[in-house]
């Protein structure tokens, strides 16, 4: 995008003077830079008379734009065994209305038995992780629009529908 016009990155109709931007919805733009400038007076940030003032200003800037580095050392993880398990579930009857064939297709209720074998994990040492110091200006831009499609009550006439059941 650097060195090119915004017109190269949008559909042609959007570049016409007659284009109505309002139908796209409400445009949202936000960034941590904008939030920082809303919360701090630029005059106070540039009014520095001592090293202490500079250090305080730098701490505010760093707090707004930077993540501190973090190190998590590895840990010993003990061995663990889980015995076999058995579960029983009752799956209820399920019916589906097929509008093309005008039939109601049903699966009967059933009992499902699930057996899971036992397993063991040997002791080990987890990996350590390090995240470095990062400073960045970040933000987002776009249109916010929410639509609900469907929902509500629907009446299905059951005239001339053949009901078939297979066991």
Q: How would DSSP label each residue in 29-47?
A: EEEHHHHHHHHS-HHHHH-
> Would residue 149 count as lying in a domain?
no
pLDDT in tens, 66-100: 888 999 999 999 999 998 999 999 888 888 888 78
What share of the chain in percent tops pLDDT 90?
A: 23
Query: Are the C-beta atoms of residues 104 and 96 closer than 8 Å to each other?
Result: yes
Position 123 scores a pLDDT of: 92
Position 71 scores a pLDDT of: 94
Decide if pLDDT at 162 tops 80. no
> Would residue 33 count as lying in a domain?
yes
Position 19 scores a pLDDT of: 82
Best CA proximity match to 91, nearest among 106, 72, 69: 106
> Would residue 38 count as lying in a domain?
yes
Position 155 scores a pLDDT of: 63
> Would residue 67 count as lying in a domain?
yes
Decide if pLDDT at 145 tops 70. no
Q: How far is CA 6 from CA 12, 15, 19, 96, 156, in A?
A: 11, 9, 15, 50, 50
Helix axis angle, 32-39 to 51-65, nearest 10°? 140
Instruction: Pull the structure tokens for residue 92.
Output: 């209820």
pTM of the prediction?
A: 0.38
Q: What's the structural domain count of the chain?
A: 1
> Would residue 120 count as lying in a domain?
no
> Would residue 106 count as lying in a domain?
no
Instruction: Pull the structure tokens for residue 36.
Output: 């920082």
pLDDT: is 2 or 48 the higher one? 48
Q: Is 87 exposed, middle or buried (0-12, 13-18, 19+ CB in 10 A)?
A: exposed
Decide if pLDDT at 167 tops 60. no
pLDDT in tens, 9-38: 888 888 888 887 776 666 677 787 888 878
Q: Give dist(CA 92, CA 165) in Å, integer.
A: 16
Position 159 scores a pLDDT of: 59
The domain containing residue 22 runs over which residues?
11-85+132-143
Position 94 scores a pLDDT of: 85
| Owner of token pair 């540039």 | 46
Confidence at 116, pLDDT banded by 50, 70, 90: very high
Query: Are the C-beta atoms of residues 81 and 118 closer than 8 Å to each other?
Result: yes
Q: What is the mean pLDDT of the chain?
A: 81
> Would residue 157 count as lying in a domain?
no
> Would residue 53 count as lying in a domain?
yes
Position 3 scores a pLDDT of: 65
Decide if pLDDT at 119 tops 90. yes
């Amino acid at each position: 995008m650097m060195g090119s016009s915004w017109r190269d990155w949008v559909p042609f109709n959007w570049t016409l003077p007659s284009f109505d931007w309002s139908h796209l919805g409400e445009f949202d733009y936000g960034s941590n830079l904008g939030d920082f400038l809303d919360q701090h007076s630029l005059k106070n940030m540039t009014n520095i008379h001592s090293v202490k003032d500079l250090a305080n200003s730098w701490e505010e800037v760093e707090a707004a734009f930077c993540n501190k580095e973090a190190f998590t050392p590895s840990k010993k993880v003990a061995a663990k065994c889980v015995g076999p398990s058995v579960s029983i579930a009752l799956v209820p009857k399920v019916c589906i209305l097929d509008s093309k064939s005008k039939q109601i297709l049903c699966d009967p209720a059933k009992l499902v038995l699930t057996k899971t074998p036992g397993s063991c994990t040997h002791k080990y040492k987890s990996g350590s992780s390090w995240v470095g110091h990062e400073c960045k200006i970040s933000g987002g831009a776009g249109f916010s629009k929410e639509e609900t499609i469907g929902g509500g009550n629907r009446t299905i006439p059951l005239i001339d529908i053949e009901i078939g059941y297979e066991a």
